[in-house]
Structure 1
Amino acid sequence: MKESLHTLLNDSTPVLVDFFAEWCGPCKVQAPVLKEVKSDIGDSVRIIKIDVDKSPAIAQQYQVSGVPTLILFRNGQPIWRQSGVASKKQLVDVLRQHI
């Protein structure tokens, strides 16, 4: 059973949301970086992907106007945000600050 987005974001475990689109070139560059980050960080952070074309209301709710946009949530609150491709080092550094 899939957890609802609301339940996921309100958890005490940090959740990194990757807002992306299938047609987006930079999003395709970001995807393997996120996989590497997940293998480094493990289960201390959840990483989920939201396709802005399939979920435009969610993208609008979080004021995502460009892709890729990464938003880190903890306890339902956005605590870090970046638009554009982020490097593995940058993401690991940010995530480790919030674990």
Structure 2
Amino acid sequence: MSKFGELIDINVPVLLDFYTDWNESSTAMHPVLRDVAAAMGDKAKIIKIDVDKNQELANALRVKGLPTLMIYKGGEMVWRHSGEQDANTLIGLLQGHI
């Protein structure tokens, strides 16, 4: 968990994508997140977290549906959504927390 704290406790917004490779909605988000990362550059960080490999973290954050997206800023969760989102919405949310 301490590594997780280091990931999210930075001055730029961090978008976390909790996913699995066997979940169709999760894999559909991969190109969307690539677009978001390209658009945001170094103004935000996008981190993909495989739930199958990080079950303890997923349980601690009560991740139920996939994909689950969260935005952290300065170590605090500022937004959370279960299900797919489009790139423009995510970019707008991240820009709102820069």
Counterpart of 2:43? 44
Structure 2 CA distance for aligned equivalents of residues 53 and 28 of structure 1: 14
Q: Please state if 1:72 is matched with 2:81.
A: no
> Which secondary structure does the structure 2 equivalent of 1:80 belong to?
strand
In structure 1, what is the Cα distance between the partners aligned to 2:60 and 2:76? 13
In structure 2, the residue matched to 1:86 is 85
TM-score (normalised: structure 2): 0.94
In the TM superposition, 1:1-80 aligns within 5 A as: 4-80=3-79
Ranges of 4+ aligned residues in structure 1 off by more than 6 Å? none
Q: Displacement, 1:5?
A: 2.1
The count of residues paired between Structure 1 and Structure 2 equals: 96
TM-score (norm 1): 0.93
Structure 1 letter corresponding to 2:51: V
- Separation in structure 2 between the aligned mates of residue 94 and residue 53 of structure 1, nearest angstrom: 27
- Matched letter for residue 27 of structure 1: S
Distance 2:94 2:73 in 1: 11
Work out the CA distance in 1 between the residues paired with 2:35 and 2:84. 14
Coordinate RMSD, CA, aligned:
0.8
Unaligned runs of 5+ in 2: none
